[in-house]
Amino acid sequence: MKSWNVILGVDVSKLTLDICWAEHHLHIRIANCTKGFTVFKKWCKINQIDLRETLVVMEYTGGYEYRFMQFCESIPVCYCRVPGLEIKQSIGMTRGKSDQADAFRISRYGQEKNKRLEPSAPLNNHILKLKQLLSFRKRLVREKAGMESTVKERKHMYALKRTDAIINIAQSRIKANKKHIDLLEGEIMELIKSDEPMLLNYRIISSIKGIGPVNAWMTIAYTENFASFTDARKYAVFVGVIPFEHTSGTSIKGRKRVSHLAHKELKNELNQAAKTAITHDPEIRAYAERKLKNKAYPLVLNNVKFKLILRMFSLVKRGEMYVENYTRAA
């Protein structure tokens, strides 16, 4: 495994990047745009930083880092994205907070983990676009649900005429949002069809009972088409469906619990998938019935989510569609 000569820590925000080389106490703040990236290259040249022997370490921010990642790939310079919680827990207790201090801490983290860190895979532009489409679809779905709630409550609370302005506006927004959601979903399917590996994995995981289009799209997006997560258990931890021990000595004997540090949106989407699987999949239904004799329904539902994740990863790894071959014992 390669050991890097220079580790640059980058604290990313919407408008700026704070870049630090902790070993030499060097820091620069640049604009998060092409002009700022040019300044960064000049700064590296002045400070004799060989970008071929440099690893850039940054946190996941949900999108603000993408422009800088594209710049890194164009030079090229290797970069690594790390969950912010991992960095925070590795450095222990800290006092004070600023973007410069955060960049320094990220660089320090990179130095400590130098031999363990591996460069991130290049950005898949199809995955990037898929995440953008899904994010905007979620916004429209929430807005539509809010308008529907407004109409329902208003009709329940007041004796209204058909000419009520609030209801008419809300209903027109609902209709428009539904049209736009359908348009986005069409764009998502066209995007998936244009990428053969994505299309294959979409067909595989959507062949599983309970996994509908939205769950399939989100799984492909957040596993980066099963490239960033190759292990079902790691993805299940990320989603928040694997419980962990909560005990210490003789005084703390808590029950196992899932971490609150999970991707709640993915977990919520899997709720409906698990309920559908319990209803329509004989094997899952039999499994749930057995578990319900000793466990509460929410815990059983969580177990079913994990089984669905295991199925998705197993089938994708084998490149096979789901085939139902369950026969209930007499």
Question: Residue ranges per domain, the chain?
Answer: 6-112, 125-194, 222-318
The predicted structure's pLDDT at residue 319: 94
Nearest residue to 278 (alpha-carbon basis) of 202, 206, 210 = 210
Backbone CA torsion sign across 235, 136, 32, 28: negative
Determine contact, residues 236/230, Cβ cutoff 8 Å. Answer: no
Residue ranges of the chain with pLDDT lower than 70?
Answer: 1, 62, 84-86, 88-97, 160-162, 243-262, 326-330
Distance in angstroms (rounded) separating the CA atoms of residues 203 and 316: 10
The predicted structure's pLDDT at residue 129: 93
Distance in angstroms (rounded) separating the CA atoms of residues 34 and 281: 52
The predicted structure's pLDDT at residue 330: 46
The predicted structure's pLDDT at residue 248: 45
Q: Which two tokens stand for residue 326?
A: 């369950």
The predicted structure's pLDDT at residue 89: 63
Nearest residue to 312 (alpha-carbon basis) of 259, 260, 273 = 273
Nearest residue to 162 (alpha-carbon basis) of 150, 171, 175, 149 = 171
Nearest residue to 43 (alpha-carbon basis) of 66, 18, 61, 65 = 18
Distance in angstroms (rounded) separating the CA atoms of residues 24 and 36: 21
Determine contact, residues 182/254, Cβ cutoff 8 Å. Answer: no
Distance in angstroms (rounded) separating the CA atoms of residues 316 and 330: 32
Distance in angstroms (rounded) separating the CA atoms of residues 304 and 271: 9
pTM for the whole thing? 0.76
CA 318 centroid distance within chain: 24
Which CATH class name applies to 6-112? alpha beta
- Tell me the angle at which helices 165-193 and 125-157 cross, rounded to the nearest 10 degrees: 160
Distance in angstroms (rounded) separating the CA atoms of residues 304 and 67: 38
Residue found by looking up tokens 């916004």 in the block: 139
